[in-house]
Chains A and B, each alone.
Chain A
């Protein structure tokens, strides 16, 4: 074993100043295992040392928030005594090194964050960013990630009901895999991680510990280079079958009064779970690693403490209930082992084969964790877009846009995800702007979405951050649901570069403003930094996952139109083409300022739309986003297999493809009452056309395209790519 010194600390990811702090806390040279524990607890991934000062700016409170950031996941009140528990988390670095297992274990990890709090997981979503589709490596990563998400989610029996996918060369070496889980629990049956009860047994449940994933959290806190392939052993291997057993065993045990505290073993495994449980409870913890269930022989204390083997939980039990708990866990064929107990020392003490391998005071380990207010430069405001022109016809532009990788149908992807298991999926992928999942045994439903437009964030992090929140809020609103709260997954480059920190700070500022204006607090989240390869960073990607509630699931609206309906556009159209997909795909430019996010208009327009839906005045609703109005109407027509006539609408590209925010298209039997109500409420509204019985989309100006041609263009990309 190498001697413990500053050089070893550096190889573990601790800088000289951080190592000096370790020496000060310990008052001696730490052991190899102790250094390992410090290094993972103080890694960017576990300590949020670069982002914490900024995350504090986000609003986290509302009357319906039960637990905000700081727990394994956020918890909100969704009525009738129930709580929704949810979070989104990244598994970016592993997914590049080993796409299938990286994505699969990403799903597994976020599921555990949710059921560890007592919730049955009822929905999975994801937010994925991949590199240039022209590169063979992108195809390999997409295939592996999609298979991994499906392989894990399908097996555990949690429906994958939604998500988003973008492509951009900036993700060539750093794809993003953000996975979100939503679970349901009774409000009086929520489990937390703070350990308590001196002498209470600490119990290990789940899979055996192996040598996989050692230092995964540290890997996730550095940039990639040509040697990244060598990091494959740091990726964990998932077993969704064991996870399914773990879900059922934990939920069964949670029906009893045996559990004092519970925490999954995620990043930094046994180290972070034991340190956080004892730290939060203000107690000490003693572990004897001889009793840890092991998959391999000859594992050292260091290896066991840093292993990220999957599907493991750490519990503190009431001693008199330990035997009953053992029977429940073993009924599900899972390992159960008492590996230690809670103490009053305020220290974590690890023994192995009779030797004390680590003895660290817990308070300084967390309280004196590094915290950096890193220097940043604000991103320069983009130049507004000047006049643009293209001689491409509306028809050709529309066909090209709906076929491009960022807009085309995602059917090939979601057809590989089980979206119906559980029997509560009211709206399946692509049927509505947010997925709709009923709460079993009630009339209520959750509306769930993931959103971000990274090209906006790149051009203007503040506007982009606000837009991501606003679009999530809008997607929930478009179904008729009331948006309640947000989980954020901040994916950025190297925070030691001032311009990257500037992007982060700007995005937070925009997100905070939007969350406040829309009463949409952040209740959980995750930060993934160092998404860089060979010094090139990703587009700033603050992915937003959001949850809303609908009291009457039968009122949920989808995007499919039917014959005999008028089409009404809600919201103002200035024709903003800056950063639009029209500009990129048709004009070949990635310039200009992203569309302005007018939060007052967003709020007013959305509240109006929701009210009209709940009053039963709306047959279908779709928000306007990537590709603008013509793309949205095309999606509505294809979903309903119904034609639409927009002959009388404005024919300019700015009107047809502009990406102005705060807009919706409503389909209703009669436009008049909607227009009257909008006028009375001061909401911009105009009739832009009507649906038809012929299977054509008639464009502004009068040219008709058959739905079959549109469908072929829209559905073609993925099947052709993977043919």
Chain B
């Protein structure tokens, strides 16, 4: 799988993502500047975390208007894989590629700690190397991770099996139904708040996030 990592001004976890992709894929991801519009040759587009455009106006709102996002929409429409982590998740909801929105954390403070994520299904390209129901550890670091959507949308997400991960230990940011990540209906677009890319090396405290990237590499 050929991966590209989008770079918007203010994105700051692209280096972490490069390391995780490099380790599992064995290849170097292509860095795509936000003003580029050609994603030809990429199977997977990754939008990493950070503060694109300073999170001014609303997290992800300005990045969603960047030239590259038109290309990402086309890529998704063609059935391409898209992964958005943290700010990347926010950008995907702002773009409309995923439903719902990320509000300020319930406690109105930035939250940086490990959280436990439950894998809701393991028949997707993102989770094949986990067991269904498996719980794994991932660092989170966000001020706006409180997932919200209207009740009908939440019911639909649950009914159609589009909830990817739930907070298993504690729902610190107040997300609706403890949702930490959601899929598009074709299961090819995934957004999640925590950072599996920051736990892929035993030296950094564990490898809980490595199966996530190994799953993608094997797809």
A interface, CB within 8 angstroms of B: 147, 150-151, 154-157, 239-242, 244-245, 332-333, 414-426, 428, 438, 440, 553-554
B177 interface residue, CB < 8 Å from A?
Answer: no
Contacts of B201 in A (CB 8 A): 423
The reply to whether B204 and A415 contact each other, CB–CB distance below 8 Å, is no
The reply to whether A150 and B110 contact each other, CB–CB distance below 8 Å, is yes
Which 4 pairs show the lowest CB-CB distances between chains A and B? A157-B12, A241-B54, A423-B16, A418-B141
In the complex formed, the residue of B with least CB distance to A151 is B110
Give complex CA distance A428, B16 in Å. Answer: 16
- Given that A240-B54, A420-B195 are contacting pairs, would A332 and B9 also be in contact in the complex, using a CB cutoff of 8 Å? yes
Most buried by B among A151, A154, A240, A242: A154
Min C-beta distance of A431 to chain B, whole Å: 8
- The one of B13, B109, B200 in contact with A416, judged by C-beta atoms closer than 8 angstroms, is B109
The reply to whether A418 and B110 contact each other, CB–CB distance below 8 Å, is yes
Contacts of A242 in B (CB 8 A): 54
B203 interface residue, CB < 8 Å from A?
Answer: yes
Give complex CA distance A423, B19 in Å. Answer: 8
- Given that A414-B112, A420-B112 are contacting pairs, would A241 and B51 also be in contact in the complex, using a CB cutoff of 8 Å? yes
Sample of 28 A–B contacts (CB below 8 Å):
A154-B51, A154-B112, A154-B143, A155-B10, A155-B54, A155-B55, A157-B12, A157-B13, A157-B50, A157-B51, A240-B54, A241-B10, A241-B51, A241-B56, A244-B9, A245-B9, A414-B112, A416-B110, A419-B112, A420-B16, A420-B141, A421-B16, A423-B16, A423-B198, A425-B204, A426-B203, A428-B205, A553-B203
Contacts of B203 in A (CB 8 A): 426, 438, 553-554
The 0/1 profile, CB within 8 Å of A marked 1, for residues 171-214 of chain B is: 00000000000000000000000010110110111000000000
The reply to whether A240 and B51 contact each other, CB–CB distance below 8 Å, is yes
Q: A240-B51, A244-B51, A423-B197 are in contact. List 17 more A-B contacts (CB 8 A).
A: A150-B110, A154-B51, A154-B141, A241-B53, A241-B56, A242-B54, A244-B12, A245-B9, A416-B110, A417-B110, A418-B112, A421-B12, A422-B15, A422-B16, A424-B204, A438-B203, A553-B203
B161 interface residue, CB < 8 Å from A?
Answer: no
Give complex CA distance A345, B10 in Å. Answer: 41
In the complex formed, the residue of B with least CB distance to A150 is B110
In the complex formed, the residue of B with least CB distance to A249 is B9
Min C-beta distance of A441 to chain B, whole Å: 9
Contacts of A423 in B (CB 8 A): 13, 15-16, 19-20, 197-198, 200-201, 204
Min C-beta distance of A652 to chain B, whole Å: 38
Give complex CA distance A16, B58 in Å. Answer: 53
The reply to whether A421 and B54 contact each other, CB–CB distance below 8 Å, is no
Give complex CA distance A150, B111 in Å. Answer: 10
Give complex CA distance A426, B202 in Å. Answer: 9
Min C-beta distance of A75 to chain B, whole Å: 23
Min C-beta distance of B38 to chain A, whole Å: 18
B interface, CB within 8 angstroms of A: 9-10, 12-13, 15-16, 19-20, 49-51, 53-56, 109-113, 139, 141, 143, 195, 197-198, 200-201, 203-205
Contacts of A415 in B (CB 8 A): 111-113
Min C-beta distance of B31 to chain A, whole Å: 12
- The one of B10, B56, B197, B204 in contact with A244, judged by C-beta atoms closer than 8 angstroms, is B10
Give complex CA distance A239, B10 in Å. Answer: 11
Give complex CA distance A422, B110 in Å. Answer: 18
Min C-beta distance of B40 to chain A, whole Å: 22
Most buried by A among B13, B110, B113: B110
Give complex CA distance A333, B19 in Å. Answer: 27
Min C-beta distance of B178 to chain A, whole Å: 19
Give complex CA distance A553, B203 in Å. Answer: 8
In the complex formed, the residue of B with least CB distance to A411 is B113
In the complex formed, the residue of B with least CB distance to A157 is B12
The reply to whether A421 and B141 contact each other, CB–CB distance below 8 Å, is yes
Contacts of A426 in B (CB 8 A): 203-205
The reply to whether B54 and A239 contact each other, CB–CB distance below 8 Å, is yes
Give complex CA distance A333, B56 in Å. Answer: 15
Give complex CA distance A419, B109 in Å. Answer: 15
The reply to whether A421 and B51 contact each other, CB–CB distance below 8 Å, is no
Min C-beta distance of B213 to chain A, whole Å: 12
Contacts of A425 in B (CB 8 A): 204
Most buried by A among B54, B111, B200: B54
Give complex CA distance A422, B56 in Å. Answer: 23
In the complex formed, the residue of A with least CB distance to B197 is A423
Give complex CA distance A427, B204 in Å. Answer: 7
Min C-beta distance of B36 to chain A, whole Å: 12
In the complex formed, the residue of B with least CB distance to A158 is B12
Contacts of B56 in A (CB 8 A): 241
The reply to whether A154 and B110 contact each other, CB–CB distance below 8 Å, is yes
Give complex CA distance A68, B14 in Å. Answer: 33
Give complex CA distance A151, B16 in Å. Answer: 20
In the complex formed, the residue of A with least CB distance to B9 is A245
Give complex CA distance A195, B109 in Å. Answer: 44
Give complex CA distance A417, B109 in Å. Answer: 10
In the complex formed, the residue of B with least CB distance to A445 is B203
Contacts of B204 in A (CB 8 A): 420, 423-426, 438
- The one of A333, A422, A440 in contact with B9, judged by C-beta atoms closer than 8 angstroms, is A333
Min C-beta distance of B173 to chain A, whole Å: 12
- Given that A423-B19, A423-B198, A440-B15 are contacting pairs, would A245 and B110 also be in contact in the complex, using a CB cutoff of 8 Å? no
In the complex formed, the residue of A with least CB distance to B113 is A415
The reply to whether A416 and B112 contact each other, CB–CB distance below 8 Å, is yes
Give complex CA distance A416, B12 in Å. Answer: 17
In the complex formed, the residue of B with least CB distance to A722 is B109
Give complex CA distance A157, B112 in Å. Answer: 13
Contacts of B110 in A (CB 8 A): 150-151, 154, 416-418
Most buried by A among B13, B55, B111: B13
In the complex formed, the residue of A with least CB distance to B109 is A416
The reply to whether B10 and A420 contact each other, CB–CB distance below 8 Å, is no
- Given that A332-B9, A415-B113 are contacting pairs, would A420 and B54 also be in contact in the complex, using a CB cutoff of 8 Å? no
Contacts of B113 in A (CB 8 A): 415
Contacts of A554 in B (CB 8 A): 203
- The one of B50, B111, B198 in contact with A420, judged by C-beta atoms closer than 8 angstroms, is B198
Give complex CA distance A416, B53 in Å. Answer: 21
Contacts of B112 in A (CB 8 A): 154, 414-420
In the complex formed, the residue of B with least CB distance to A424 is B204
Contacts of A240 in B (CB 8 A): 51, 54
Give complex CA distance A245, B12 in Å. Answer: 10
In the complex formed, the residue of B with least CB distance to A554 is B203
Contacts of A420 in B (CB 8 A): 16, 112, 139, 141, 195, 198, 204
Give complex CA distance A244, B49 in Å. Answer: 14
Min C-beta distance of A163 to chain B, whole Å: 14
In the complex formed, the residue of A with least CB distance to B56 is A241
In the complex formed, the residue of B with least CB distance to A248 is B9
Give complex CA distance A332, B10 in Å. Answer: 10
Give complex CA distance A418, B49 in Å. Answer: 12
Give complex CA distance A554, B204 in Å. Answer: 10
The reply to whether B51 and A155 contact each other, CB–CB distance below 8 Å, is yes
- The one of A150, A245, A414, A428 in contact with B10, judged by C-beta atoms closer than 8 angstroms, is A245
